[in-house]
Amino acid sequence: MGEWSDFFEDFPEENPANWVNGVYVGPNGAQLHRDHQAKVEAARANVAVEQARLDSTIAKIIAAGKERQRLKENGG
């Protein structure tokens, strides 16, 4: 009888590390999945930063519009 690693080389579908969320992904699939997840998380972080920047810009535009409206109403 050989080592477990020999068994998993012959039958990769039996290796639990080759399954992600109940889906067989192959011998390199788990690492590919982790790499993809890391890229997705990085993209989400970038979106959050960009959204915060846009929210700040929108708030400034609204404040400027309110100030113009206030000046217009007060005859200034």
Instruction: Give the pLDDT mean for 51-62.
Output: 98
Report helix, strand or coil for 23.
Answer: strand
Structural domain span for residue 67: 4-73
Number of structural domains the chain divides into: 1
Percent of the chain, pLDDT > 70? 96
CA atoms within 13 A of residue 21's CA, in its CB half-sphere: 2
Instruction: Please tell me the predicted confidence (pLDDT) of residue 46.
Output: 97
For the segment 34-56, what is each residue's pLDDT rounded down to a tens digit? 899 999 999 999 999 999 999 99
pTM of the model: 0.55
Give mean pLDDT, residues 55-60: 98
Dihedral sign for Cα atoms in the order 51, 53, 55, 58? negative
- C-alpha to C-alpha distance for 15 and 27, rounded to whole angstroms: 8
